[in-house]
Amino acid sequence: MTDYKIPPAVEKAVVTRIYTQADKAHWPHLQDADRTRLYQEWTEDPEIGGRLLDFVGQPANVRPWLKDCPMKEYERARRGEGKYAKYVTRPAATLEQMVAATLGPDWEVIPGTTQQKPMRARIREVGMEDEERHFVAGTAANLKHLVWPAILDRSTGETWPWMICVVDPFRAPVSPEKKEEHRRMAEFLGVRVVYFNEM
């Protein structure tokens, strides 16, 4: 994608606006057709597509920029990560908050171990420096991406335990059938699956 020179003030106004609308529309739970409709509305909106037009060259470039830049980073931004996090009006739980909610307040993310795509870190129980584990979090729809780092670790002989945290949204809960599928997969891979209930 072309690296457009969008002024910071324009980027801030546009991204804040689309993030606010994405939040109201419950973006993580939208079907593709609904996302397509929103992209079209944003492209035609004078405060979004209209403001970007001078910097992206033509209307056909607005949607790809929205999709490949701010919306590609939307989930990470909601969780306080990346350059667009400052534009989120209603943040979601951070990795640290998910660890505390699923394992208890005595667990901590080890500083300097956080990675992205998928969002993960090494964790430990406070005072138990020799008992680290891996913690990776994301949606059920992205489960294959969550287990991939564990598979790679296992294939190279890594022995630290893996914890797969599946975000279980109140508006679209993970079904019992899916949870059973996760249980079988976890047993097969030798990992543990936990669920983070998100309002």
| Strand extents, DSSP E, 9-161 | 107-109, 119-125, 133-139
Task: Kindly report, residue by residue over 66-109, the tens digit of the pLDDT.
Answer: 999 999 999 889 988 889 999 998 899 999 999 999 999 999 99
Report the length, in residues, of the chain: 199
Mean pLDDT in residue range 169-194: 93
- The per-residue pLDDT for 2 is 62
Domain boundaries, the chain: 8-87, 95-198
Tell whether the torsion through CA atoms of 35, 39, 45 and 51 is positive or negative: positive
Task: Kindly report, residue by residue over 7-45, the tens digit of the pLDDT.
Answer: 999 999 999 999 999 999 989 888 899 999 999 999 999
Crossing angle of helices 32-44 and 8-24, in 10° steps, is: 140
By the 10 Å C-beta count (0-12 exposed, 13-18 middle, 19+ buried), 114 is classed as: middle
On the question of a cis peptide bond just before residue 118, with omega within 30 degrees of 0, the verdict is yes
- Distance of alpha carbon 149 from alpha carbon 155, whole angstroms: 10
Task: Kindly report, residue by residue over 126-167, the tens digit of the pLDDT.
Answer: 888 778 999 999 989 889 999 999 999 989 988 889 999 999
Closest to 62 (Cα-Cα) out of 83, 38, 42: 42
**H or E stretch covering 169:** strand 162-169
- Does the pLDDT at position 1 exceed 70? no
- The per-residue pLDDT for 62 is 97
CB 139 within 8 A of CB 133: no
- Distance of alpha carbon 135 from alpha carbon 37, whole angstroms: 35
CA dihedral (34, 36, 37, 40) in degrees, to 10, reads 160
